[in-house]
Amino acid sequence: MKSRNVLVRASQLVLLCILIAVTAGATDSSARFYKDSHELMCGCGCNQLLGECNHVGCPSSPGMLAELSAAIARGDSDDAILHQFQGEYGPVIIASPRFTRFNHLAWIMPPLVLFLGIAGVLLLVRNWKLHTVPTPPEPSTPGFAATRDRIRRETQI
């Protein structure tokens, strides 16, 4: 009985591996076309995504969509397609910024500088608070105590 369960499990595992191997290479090109066309802007200046450009008689979107479809049919990767479009039409064709090393740095540096600035100000204020100034000795001039008392009375609310 135990050997039969092991045999059934092994056959299920083999079938699962075959299923994964068969479906791993199969990609839905229409879903990829939809995704990629929504990562690009239309080149006509309408400020719409390439897949959503609905302006009548658009001079750019049919050619760009055909170019995108041809690149997908060739088997180009998404990054290669985006780089190709960016090289041809410029960086404004990409709908959202790609995460490159510079973009990571541009996202990390402002909060880092802010936190370092806050820490610096806190340390400076702490050092100022800890720094005590000795009070000068009371002068021995005549009438000093009377003048000080008069000033305190006049400035009291």
Note the pLDDT tens digit of each residue in 36-54: 999 999 988 888 999 888 8
- My answer on whether 35 and 85 are in the same domain is yes
Q: Look up the pTM and report it.
A: 0.51
Could you read off the pLDDT of 109-122 as tens digits, one per residue? 999 999 999 999 99
In CATH, what number is assigned to the domain containing residue 57?
1.10.8.640
Q: Is residue 147 part of a domain?
A: no
Question: Is there a single domain that holds both residue 77 and residue 107?
Answer: no
Q: Let me know if residue 154 belongs to a domain.
A: no
Tokens of residue 5, six digits: 């369960």
Mark whether 44 and 89 lie in a shared domain.
yes
40 SS3 class: strand
Based on the fold, state whether residues 64 and 125 are members of the same structural domain.
no
Q: Yes or no: say if 68 and 36 are a contact pair by the CB < 8 Å rule.
A: yes
Burial 36-69 (b: 16+ CB within 10 A, else e): bbebbbbbbeeebebbebeeeebebbeebbeebe
Range of the domain at 104: 100-133
For residue 56, is it within any domain?
Answer: yes
33 touches 72 (CB < 8 A): yes
Structural domain includes residue 120: yes
Quote the number of domains for the chain: 2
Residue 76: other Cβ atoms inside 10 A: 16
**All residues at 6 or more sequence positions from 40 whose CB lies less than 8 Å from its CB, including other chains:** 49, 50, 51, 64, 68, 82, 85, 93, 94, 95
